[in-house]
Amino acid sequence: MKPEGASLVGFGSGSPDGAIFRAFDPALNTSIEPVFISATLADADRAAQLATAAAPMWAALSGAERNLFLRLIADKLAQHAAVLAARATQETAIPLARCEGEIGRTVGQLRLYGDAAESGDWLDARIETAIPDRKPIPKPDHRSMMRPLGPVVVFGASNFPFAYSVAGGDTASALAAGCPVIVKAHPAHPGTSDLVGRLIVEAVKECGLPEGTFSLLFDAGIEIGQALVKHPLVKAVGFTGSLRGGRALADAAAARPEPIPVYAEMGSVNPVFILPGALAERSAALAGGLHASAMLGVGQFCTNPGLIVLQRTGAAAEFIRALTAKLAATAEATMLTPGITASFRKALDIRSRIPGVRTVGAALRRDESGHSSVAKAMADKKAPPTANCSAPVWFETDAVTFVRNHTLGEEIFGPSSLVVWCKDAAEMREVARHVEGSLTATLHAGKSEEAQPGDLVAILAAKAGRLVLNGFPTGVDVGHAMVHGGPYPATSDGGRSTSVGTRALTRWGRLICYQNFSENLLPPELQSANPRGVRRLVNGEWTIAAL
């Protein structure tokens, strides 16, 4: 099983006339086989037409049928895990074991969302029976539930070649909700996308589903993505990536003659507030945990802890010294793409020039080598970095500088975090108030602080989709209770939804109410006998019983 390089438009291939690009091995800094052909606008249109044609049949499937399909995709991913992981490692420089783990997560996600489709909980089915003798007018029978929105476009992410890509959470939840999916493959891992996409098409065929159920389009640029978001037959968009990219798509979708929802998860700064008591109780463990969390995936996680807020105490200085030693001992590692590497270095350079901002550990290193700039700090490493390698570079500043300089609150995608020194608890709260919307916010507290945390928890609750106590933000469990969302700019929808967990299905539905419908015209989930056994709110009581 090898990548073939053509877009998958339903059961066919994309046009051979599209612009050509190649996959890239960031570790070897060289392009790799095969050649990929960008989809044409005609391919995008055909994918949308096919998806629209497939939508009614796809929407009419039972949750159990959708579950079978999602589980077949999961089985195929598991079966081909070795070849998939090998290709992804080559294209992303993500270690093989992590690729294997991510495939496992993706498989579990497909099965969980399939189960969610089968249970039908997400449909929010409700029945209120007629009251013929109500005064002044009879009350009709009303039955309502979620129905799929229609064709969904999913943009794969660079940093999760499986879990947030072709068969990732957006695709799995949209299919589970009954929507056909068109994936715009991320050009950072086209071969992996190609392999996964072909497994999905196989599953579509084996299940006898319509060909428009799934398409996969390649494009090294933005033209196809923009065309898909503006296509009149496309009804919703899922995206994981940068703020700039997500906002551009959300703006394009909002400006359509018929606006459509864009669920864009755009990364975030993920502040970590460390109270003095936490340092007093477990400074070493905290330094180890924070370092490990921040270095995961070469800092290229959307939940990467990018902002560390502390009070200026001797214990805190000691804590940062310990952390600095760990950072200094951290080997460079290959980033996902040359573009991301270049952006990371540029962001470091810009940040290092902001007055009042210094590199963390510069003093430490200056003692040894006399260097203090970012370039020098990077040059301190034993081996010269290869083309796409980056070492961690952290910065520090004071609360006043942070509050005054908006750009210090922005994410740097890669292994760089900003330490913000506060003179007291009030300044910590002030920094918290100035933090932008984030996927997560973390609080480390000692026992007595945990008992009396003051306003900090409430301030942080207004800023994030997930609050972590005495832990680390990386690691997003896929379950019923997970929230992977948050106020803008973490997401485009202000944190009203989540892209991870079973609640992700509700993003792809709209509500329909049936008034005085006869049994044969109702969807099975709303028929009196409840043949699909879904949980329903019947005259004010939740039940799975028949009427």
Q: Which is nearer to a second copy, 334 or 474 (CB)?
A: 474
Secondary structure (3-state) at 484: coil
CA atoms within 13 A on the CB side of 54: 28
Secondary structure (3-state) at 468: strand
Helix (H) or strand (E) holding 33: strand 30-37
Q: State the catalytic residue, choosing from 302, 332, 389, 449.
A: 302
Q: Which is nearer to a second copy, 15 or 405 (CB)?
A: 405
Q: Which is nearer to a second copy, 51 or 360 (CB)?
A: 51
Angle at which helix 81-92 crosses helix 190-206, to 10 degrees, equals 150
Angle at which helix 362-369 crosses helix 314-328, to 10 degrees, equals 60
Q: Which is nearer to a second copy, 257 or 384 (CB)?
A: 257
Q: State the catalytic residue, choosing from 102, 118, 211, 265.
A: 265
In whole angstroms, give the CA distance from residue 167 to residue 173. Answer: 10
Least gap, CB of 129 to a second copy (angstroms): 9
Contact partners, residue 210, CB within 8 Å, separation at least 6 = 50, 53, 54, 57, 58, 204
Least gap, CB of 105 to a second copy (angstroms): 11
Burial class (CB in 10 A: 0-12, 13-18, 19+), 481: exposed
Least gap, CB of 11 to a second copy (angstroms): 24
Least gap, CB of 7 to a second copy (angstroms): 27
513 is catalytic: no
302 is catalytic: yes
**Residue 11 CA: distances (Å) to CA of 1, 338, 471:** 18, 33, 46
Q: Which is nearer to a second copy, 138 or 356 (CB)?
A: 138
In whole angstroms, give the CA distance from residue 49 to residue 44. Answer: 9
Residue with tokens 């539905």: 509
Q: Are 84 and 103 in contact (CB under 8 A)?
A: yes
Q: Which is nearer to a second copy, 296 or 378 (CB)?
A: 296
Least gap, CB of 497 to a second copy (angstroms): 7
Give me the active site residues, please.
Answer: 265, 302
